[in-house]
A = this chain, B = another copy of it.
Amino acid sequence: MQEPSNTYESWLLKSYIDQMSDQHSSQALSWRRLYLSRAKLKASSRTSALLSGFAMVAMVEVQIDQPNQHIPDALLVVFGVCTTLLVTVHLLALMISTCIVPNIESVSNVHNITAVNESPHEKMKWCVEVAWICSTGIGIILFLAEIGILCWVKFYSISQNTAIASTCIVIPATLLFITFALVFYKRLVAHKYQRHEEGLKELDNLVTELNVNNDGHIRTV
């Protein structure tokens, strides 16, 4: 009679499947999402502090008020708008990050497996995404544009060729950055779906195997 061993073996496989599906299920996934949110927010806040700092220093220190410069008003408007937008976008990312990170950290320090549900990172998911896109998406592309505009402001009355040459680099670079962002996003989504499907397939295989084993045992018994 192999009944008990069969029962034990099937129990083992079942518990393994449970564990595996658990790992792909709520608790484990919640923790991974918590770590991802935290890492995203921290990276956002660091990048934002850096870039908004450079933008502000550039605006304060660039000398545009000298008599021999005749910078057209439109250029200055674009410069002002770009700088303000850049600082605003990074401040938003910084604010969201400073608001949510302490709540996530207080949870991840508790060392309690169910504490993950107490973290606001799932409910605030859209905030995390906004901070993330503001900081790495819009923020970096605006910073690139800022460089181009800064060259126009700096070189307008001295050497317009410099400004034009600089623009010829900034425009394709901006397109490249947008392309990278989109490709990266697509790959990330594709990667997630693929992993998800592989997980389901593995579960399927295990279930099939278990059934076959059980059947085999049943037949041999």
A residues engaging B (CB < 8 A)? Answer: 23, 28, 31-33, 35-36, 39-40, 42-44, 47, 49-50, 53-54, 56-69, 71, 73, 76-77, 79-81, 83-85, 87-88, 91-92, 94-96, 98-99, 101-103, 105-107, 109-110, 112, 114-115, 117-118, 120, 123-124, 127, 135-136, 140, 143-144, 147-148, 150-151, 154-155, 157-159, 161-163, 165-166, 169-170, 173, 176-177, 180-181, 184, 187-188, 191, 195, 198
Contacts and interface: CB of A to CB of B under 8 A. Distances in A.
B40 A112 contact: no
A53 B147 CA distance: 12
A95 B154 contact: no
Contact of A110 (B28, B42, B67): B28
B43 A98 contact: yes
Contacts of A159: 71, 73, 76-77, 80
Given A65-B158, A144-B91, A191-B123, A98 B169 contact: no
Given A88-B144, A165-B80, A195 B117 contact: yes
A136 B191 contact: no
